[in-house]
Amino acid sequence: MFENQPKGLYALALANTGERFGYYTMLAVFALFLRENFGLDADKAGLIYSSFLMVVYFLPLFGGMLADKFGYGKMVTTGILIMFVGYLALAIPAGAGVSGYALMFLALGLVSLGTGLFKGNLQVMVGNLYDDPAIADKRDSAFSLFYMAINIGALFAPTAAVKIMEYAQKNLGVSVADSYHFAFGVACASLVLSILIYYGFRSTFRHTEGGKTAAAKAAAAGEEKLSKQDETERIVALCLVFAVVIFFWMAFHQNGLTLTFFANEFTEKTSSGIQSMAFDVTNLVMIIIIVYALFAIFQSKTAKAKGIATAIVAVCAAGLAYKYSQLSGSIDVAAPIFQQFNPCYVVGLTPVSIALFGWLASKGKEPSAPRKIAYGMLVAAAAYLIMAVGSMGLLTPNEQAAAGDGAKFVSANWLIVTYLVLTFAELLLSPMGISFVSKVAPPRYKGMMMGGWFVATAIGNFLVAVGGLLWGNIPLWIVWSVFIGLCLLSAMFMFVMMKRLEKVA
């Protein structure tokens, strides 16, 4: 899985891990911050939340256009510095008045601009590593590994947010509303680590950064290799994919809105027994290590390596057994902590995904990237079907808020399983989609086309607000059914357009 990949992949992936850790630490608590600090209703908080997500993912289009002209490296560096200032402003407690709103929106604007310059262009640089025909066949697995690194950062983010807030409240006497700013401060620190990694290992990927001369050469090469008709066919195919993934991100990013509201309002507040172990990120990390060590046992070429991997499995299994033996009573479960399950699943399942598709490729049966995306939409529909079943018989959100002692709560397992299925969908769609863009985009439009992927994500993120608008007097099973229907329709569209998409894949 890790063999024969260029060193630049790991450097770029780790730089992105630091940035994503900060972003997801902020995002884990942002919707709740809007309601706690400003007293906003679910629909207004949802509108701000989704609008921010939209802008964050829309601006990479312009960041990519700038990078096509001035170079990817320059935009990445500029972006991370702007993001730092944005998170720093967000970390300042300015209250709930006009000044609080003003500082928050300024901070969100800076974070959005910085992300627009950083995110897409870093991914273009990853794709540029595989322009060499000798390693071009490793592009899909490379983006799976890159995506895994993103989620390592996201895995620890919810725990970091919750723990720093609890520390501020208990040890510093900070109010609940003001404690959110400590979580936002964590994002500042993570960006420092990201920039240190980027410049510390820059020599391994500097040739991918581009610039005026490099961009001109790429454009010339593209014009020689592709006719105008070929370029048009590729761009049209990419736009068709972009149209579909809008609805995936609309459904997927409910994890920060309605799924978090569900965790906060309808899910049991405590957990005990073996289920409670799932809310300790240390346990999740040990499970992930066991998964990777098991792969090492079967893939290692020497007895020594197999022995080390076996020992790691034994140590982690013993650690889990010990922690289970120490369980006593129940633990409190905070709503944001549920957001650790998706990145945990991504990190843990990535080697499984790579091994599966590698095996299918060896048999000549690996699905094309567009087909994987279509399957991903079907799986996303299945995830919300689980939520619909789990929500049967529950009160509406407004009824739940007014029910007092009559409120009904469900097991955390509904959300835990939903996040697992959504992760299967994500692994089929997101890294494969990014890889597809980097492969199919005409050379002179690489930055802009990668930006187009994020524009589709941006529109989907804006439509996340639909969940907030539905959250109130509508039965929950109907809310989830909206996302089931959209995912199914998107999958059908992909299958109808499959021949056209696979023609350029």
> What is the CATH classification number for the domain harbouring 226?
1.20.1250.20
2 within a domain of the structure (yes/no): no
133 with 32, same domain: the answer is: yes
What span, in angstroms and rounded, lies between the C-alpha atoms of 107 and 196?
23
Burial-class residue 293 by CB neighbours within 10 Å (0-12, 13-18, 19+).
buried
- Residue whose structure tokens are 């312009």: 62
Cα dihedral: 194, 198, 199, 200 (round 10): 90
Please determine, for residue 27, whether its predicted confidence score (pLDDT) is greater than 50. yes
Mean pLDDT along residues 3-16: 85
DSSP per position, 42-68: HHHHHHHHHHHHHHHHHTHHHHHHHHH
Domain boundary among 289, 312, 332: 332
- Residue whose structure tokens are 């993001």: 83
Please determine, for residue 223, whether its predicted confidence score (pLDDT) is greater than 50. no
What span, in angstroms and rounded, lies between the C-alpha atoms of 257 and 462?
12
DSSP letter assigned to residue 133: T
Sign for the CA dihedral angle at 136, 141, 144, 146 comes to negative
Q: Look up the pTM and report it.
A: 0.77
Asked whether 86 and 109 are in contact (CB, 8 A), the reply is: yes
Percent of the chain with pLDDT over 70: 96
26 within a domain of the structure (yes/no): yes
Most confident of 70-74, 288-292, 348-352, 362-366: 288-292
350 with 292, same domain: the answer is: no
Asked whether 500 and 369 are in contact (CB, 8 A), the reply is: no
Confidence of residue 224 (pLDDT cuts 50, 70, 90): very low
Return the pLDDT at 411. Answer: 94
Confidence of residue 483 (pLDDT cuts 50, 70, 90): very high
| 125-128-130 Cα angle (round to 5) | 130
Domain boundary among 300, 332, 364: 332
12 within a domain of the structure (yes/no): yes
96 with 232, same domain: the answer is: yes
1 within a domain of the structure (yes/no): no
Confidence of residue 253 (pLDDT cuts 50, 70, 90): confident
**Taking the CB of residue 247, how many other CB atoms lie within 10 A of it?**
24
52 with 189, same domain: the answer is: yes
447 with 314, same domain: the answer is: no
Tell me the β-bridge partners of 330. 272
260 within a domain of the structure (yes/no): yes
- Read off the tokens for 51: 């609008």
Residue range 409-419, pLDDT digits in tens: 999 999 999 99
What span, in angstroms and rounded, lies between the C-alpha atoms of 107 and 317?
44
* DSSP H/E element including 8: helix 7-38
Tell me the β-bridge partners of 410. 267
Task: Write out the residue range of the structural domain in which residue 287 sits.
Answer: 270-332
246 with 289, same domain: the answer is: no
254 with 196, same domain: the answer is: yes
215 with 293, same domain: the answer is: no
Asked whether 265 and 396 are in contact (CB, 8 A), the reply is: no
**Taking the CB of residue 328, how many other CB atoms lie within 10 A of it?**
7
395 with 347, same domain: the answer is: yes
What span, in angstroms and rounded, lies between the C-alpha atoms of 108 and 35?
16
Asked whether 158 and 337 are in contact (CB, 8 A), the reply is: yes
Please determine, for residue 317, whether its predicted confidence score (pLDDT) is greater than 80. yes
Mean pLDDT along residues 254-259: 87
Return the pLDDT at 211. Answer: 63
DSSP letter assigned to residue 130: T
Domain boundary among 332, 347, 372: 332
- pLDDT, averaged across the chain: 87
DSSP letter assigned to residue 396: P
Mean pLDDT along residues 350-376: 88
186 within a domain of the structure (yes/no): yes
Q: What is the number of structural domains in the chain?
A: 2
CB within 8 Å of 497: residues ≥ 6 apart: 240, 370
290 with 184, same domain: the answer is: no
Q: For the chain, state the CA radius of gyration.
A: 23
**Taking the CB of residue 306, how many other CB atoms lie within 10 A of it?**
15
296 with 373, same domain: the answer is: no
What is the identity of the amino acid at 115? T
83 with 230, same domain: the answer is: yes
313 within a domain of the structure (yes/no): yes
